[in-house]
Structure 1
């Protein structure tokens, strides 16, 4: 992700002595993304990822890090947070909260085929089931309340046709969230950002989900919709690829069957997933923060996906 807080190997040398990782041997900033400062960290014990959190507080972070530990304990492939000599998963570096997690093997699959989508769908279902007994609760911080708060901030920057689409879709989602069908949807911890670049593969073998720092408690179906909207589309048009959609949904359904209420809500949740990322990209594009390495995402990508989801029904859940 973008490096907002510069850190050198010298800065880390003394700080890392509190962890059972040996000496720090190398540190490299990671340029993708726009939320936290991330670094590949090489130590005498292996390869890790160091994150300095730019927005999340010390009070919020245990939800994410303990969730990763909980999921790992249930067989879900995720990075393992490293505790310091006091048992803490979050400590202070450069005056900000920081953590270290294990680095997953492999690389992101940026041109997924149905076999990759099936692996993601099955693991996502396992993740949802594993989260059922997770004791901590935190809402999705980029959910409906955030949409209401953020929409007025971006409206002055966008043309009237985009503004009308944004306002009407927020209203549509607000109305649906108040209906009985929505209340019947299964909920629990969700990743909420499971894009291609947040999953690792070695060949066709999935080796892990990572970057849980948008996780929260929401409907499982929203998580599926966000994932489908990235893994199963033509990137140029936003049009869904039926074979990849079917592979992901069938693999998920085989592990955790979809419900009738979810089938009813599916088209709406796909629109919700597109809206969430269109709005966040509008916000990041027009109100960027300073960073050493920053590549803001193009908001029109998810505007295009939202318009496509409104215009064209997607393949059903089953």
Structure 2
């Protein structure tokens, strides 16, 4: 279970009282997630999710709160920070920044099909379209520059046979850095994995965990999503799922010629980002029961992305 900070019932009840949502009935830690502590909270007024933010600067959370309010107003199925009766949305519990949000319906999909991927593509396009004309500027703390600085440090801990893949990936990123940053921009989820989307039956019902959200190239967000939702167990891209996701996205926001040219590079950069972050996680002391994801999963995907045959559709 990925709960880094334990919470006692009495302190949780004191934290929840200002919301005026009734008596605490039950609360449980949430197993998914690798960076924050999350709890399902049942109150007399309904079901909620409590998040204790374990990483990042407190002032960054105001960006997350504002972004979620904007996406909620645009009709996207996202959580949003609930305010106390005195108007507070960002508070503190167990000496950590804390947010209370409504619990969205649905469940995670571990084995997606083309229809699931089609809905992912449409939702991601809607997210980008709702922010690209008025971007909330916010830099990722694990963006392109972070990869270029963190990569050589992680290389010191890799086996010799892993080094050429990492070095070549870093070299490509350095070479294409300026071109990537020049691509069309919007606000990004930047972590749109299967465990951050909910489906109620065949329909997408919730997009959660915006703590890696930032501003940046929209194609990077697409690449992150494709790398997870469309990968097979061996790390290859499944053709039907990839075409479904990309086609649904492009039906709402057509890709540009520059995006089509850099598509293979962005797939590799997106793999590199999560390979590095997972390498960091396995070398850090973990609390008991914290779920640490396998970095070799993204090493395999990065190896498979050295040749990309599935191109972007409808490039202009």
Compute the TM-score of the two structures, normalised by the length of structure 1.
0.94
Note the C-alpha offset of 1:133: 4.4
The whole-number CA distance in structure 2 between the counterparts of 1:136 and 1:266 is 24
Residue in structure 2 matched with residue 17 of structure 1 by the alignment: 17
Q: SS state of the match for residue 131, structure 2?
A: helix
Unaligned runs of 5+ in 1: none
Instruction: Give per-residue Cα distances to partners, 1:224-268, cap 9 Å, x unaligned.
Output: 00000011111x211111111111111101111111111111111
Q: Deviations over 1:58-110 (max 9, x none)?
A: 21101112111110101111112211233222101111111111111010111
Using the size of structure 2 for normalisation, the TM-score is 0.95
How many residue pairs get aligned? The number is 314
Residues 31, 112 of structure 1: CA spacing in aligned structure 2 closer, same or farther, 3 A cutoff?
A: same
2:235 to 233, 238, 246: 238
Q: Give the deviation of 1:183 after TM superposition.
A: 4.7
Aligned partners of 1:61, 1:53: CA distance in 2, in Å?
9
1:71-220 correspondence runs (5 A): 71-134=71-134, 136-179=136-179, 182-220=180-218
Structure 1 distance, partners of 2:98, 2:203, is 30
Measure how far apart 1:146 and its partner are.
Answer: 1.4
The answer to whether the 8 A contact 1:21-1:44 is kept is yes
1:60 partner SS: helix
Is the CA contact (8 Å cut-off) linking 2:263 and 2:311 kept in structure 1? no
Distance in 1, matches of 2:11 and 2:302, equals: 44
Instruction: Supply the distance in 1 between the matched residues of 2:311 and 2:237 (Cα, whole angstroms).
Output: 9
**How far is the alpha carbon of 1:186 from its aligned partner?**
0.7
Q: CA deviation at 1:54?
A: 0.9
Give, in whole Å, the separation in 2 of the partners of 1:150 and 1:84.
Answer: 40
Determine helix, strand or coil for the equivalent of 2:132. helix
| 3-state secondary structure, aligned to 2:304 | helix
- From 259, 264, 274, the equivalent of 1:262 is 259
Give the drift of 1:316. Answer: 3.1
Residue of structure 1 equivalent to 2:28: 28
Shift of 1:4: 1.1
